[in-house]
Each structure stands twice: as C-alpha cells, then as structure tokens.
C-alpha cells in the first residue's frame, strides 16, 4: 500500500470512529518516519527524541501508542533501556471494518482448474461486532476559550456625540439689513459701528465667549445706545417719534425677535 493509500485509509477510519488529536499527531509522525526510512517494513525510533519533537509526556505517549496498536494502525516492539530503541511497523487494511494485516503481500491462492459443486469454498464469515466495553473511549471536544473579557463582549455601544454647530459670522450686508428692518434712525451708521466693533474682536465677547446670537446682541446694542440718548436728553424736551414710546417699541421688537428665534432653532 502506498503512502497516499495509508493516508486515505486513516481518514476513512476517522469517519467511522474519530481519532483524538494526539492519536492523529503520533500516527502521522510515525508514517512520516516510515517514509523517510524508504518504507521499510520495520524501523527504529528513539522514544526520547520522539517525545522532544512531539512535545508529549511519557504517560500520554504510551497511552496513545497502545491505542493506535489496538486500532490496528501500527505494531511495535518495545526497546530495551539504553541498549535498543523500539521497533515500529505501519499496518495496512484491506477493507475498513475487517481485521488489519501487515504490509507483507499475501500468497496467492491457487484454484484448481475444475471445481466440483461440493468443493466450492464457503464465504468468509462476517466478523462479529465489537462489544461496547471494548470500543475506545471518545473524549468530548475541548471548549474554545473566550478571547475577550465578558465586560467587553456585552458592553453597550457608546452613544454618538452630537456635533457642535459651527459658528458663521454675519456679513456687513446682513447686519445692515437687520438694523434697517428694525426701523431705527441712522440704521446704516449704527449697523456699521456694531459690525466693525465685534469683527475686530473676532466675534467674541469681552470675556472671550463666542457670539452665537449676533442678532440678539444687536438688539441689546441698540437698547444700550437708546438708553444713553435717553439719559442725555432726559432734562430736555422729547423729540417727536422718540423718547419712552420708542424705547418701549425697541423692547417689544427685541422680545419678538427672541421668541421667533427660539421657535425656529430650539435649544442650541
């Protein structure tokens, strides 16, 4: 039987009765050594070198070696300590399920030219099934280790952070349109004063905070400006269209502007 035939034989037997990982390792190691010894019938291997190469303990090796022999895959003769190494022999199988035989070819049976009916040999009896107590013990497969800790496996996903809205400063034209819409006196001049003042500050307050509501700040700018005019002209007569009535109108427009902004944008 060729090297490939022995490998195919092994895996056919594995489908019927699975081998353990250590049995697979030892058998294919011996099969490789048999091939290296030019496939001689018998070959020697030192036990100590075998254990070092396969990383097996003495107890595991002797148990697996006996198991392969019991299953009919190998045969061996124990060596003598410090004088000779064990001698191994790879066995082959004619048909899976039948007893093993050695690699030696069987002698051909000569059949007579004329066979009487009474002389026809009886068929080979079917081998009896192997008792349950003699079958090799199958070990349960090892459980795979969990590579990640349990707290990482069941960790809840972190909520996505809300992206902060980027501030875009207003243009001079937007500020002038806003001041003109309020109907203030000298709207363009006051709009330019407001725009160039905060543009020079990089649209930040004196405390360094970014100005997100420039329209609200513009309303306060006009209220403060009107408050100064009111205090300067308090002792003099009030001009038509100005005074307390105009100041109250600005407060009402400021409140209306704030209300519309929060209805449109919500909480920033």
Query: Residue 152 domain-assigned?
Result: no
What count of Cα atoms within 13 Å lies in the side-chain half-sphere of residue 217? 18
pLDDT of the residue at 88 = 92
Structural domain count of the chain = 2
**HEC readout, 3-16:** HHHHHHHHHHHHHH
pLDDT of the residue at 99 = 42
Q: What is the mean pLDDT of residues 156-179?
A: 78
pTM of the model: 0.37
Range of the domain at 86: 3-102
Query: Residue 165 domain-assigned?
Result: no
The CATH number of the domain where 38 resides is what?
1.10.10
pLDDT of the residue at 18 = 93
Percent of the chain with pLDDT over 90: 11
The CA-atom distances, in angstroms, between 87 and each of 33, 34, 250 are: 12, 11, 111
Spatial distance between the Cα atoms of 180 and 174, rounded to a whole number of angstroms: 10
Could you tell me the pLDDT band of residue 93, with boundaries at 50, 70 and 90?
low
């Amino acid at each position: 039987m060729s090297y490939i035939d022995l490998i195919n034989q092994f895996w056919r037997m594995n489908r019927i009765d699975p081998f353990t990982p250590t049995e697979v390792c030892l058998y294919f190691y011996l099969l490789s050594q048999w091939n290296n010894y030019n496939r001689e019938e018998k070959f020697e291997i030192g036990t100590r070198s075998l254990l070092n190469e396969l990383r097996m303990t003495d107890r595991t090796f002797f148990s697996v070696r006996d198991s392969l022999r019991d299953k009919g895959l190998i045969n061996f003769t124990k060596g003598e300590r410090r004088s000779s190494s064990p001698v191994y022999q790879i066995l082959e199988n004619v048909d899976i399920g039948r007893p093993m035989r050695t690699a030696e070819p069987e002698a051909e049976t000569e059949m007579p030219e004329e066979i009487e009916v009474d002389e026809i040999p009886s068929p080979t009896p079917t081998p009896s099934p192997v008792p349950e107590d003699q079958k090799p013990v199958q070990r349960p497969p090892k459980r795979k280790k969990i590579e990640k800790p349990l707290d990482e496996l069941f960790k809840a996903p972190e909520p996505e952070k809300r992206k902060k809205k980027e501030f875009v400063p207003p243009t001079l034209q937007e500020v002038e349109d806003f001041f003109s819409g309020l109907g203030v006196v000298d709207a363009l001049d006051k709009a330019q004063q407001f725009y160039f003042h905060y543009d020079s500050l990089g649209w930040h307050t004196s405390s360094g905070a970014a100005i997100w509501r420039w329209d609200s700040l513009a309303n306060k700018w006009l209220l403060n400006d009107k408050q100064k005019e009111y205090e300067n002209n308090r002792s003099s007569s009030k001009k038509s269209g100005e005074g307390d009535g105009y100041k109250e109108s600005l407060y009402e427009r400021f409140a209306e502007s704030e209300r519309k902004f929060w209805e449109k944008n919500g909480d920033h």
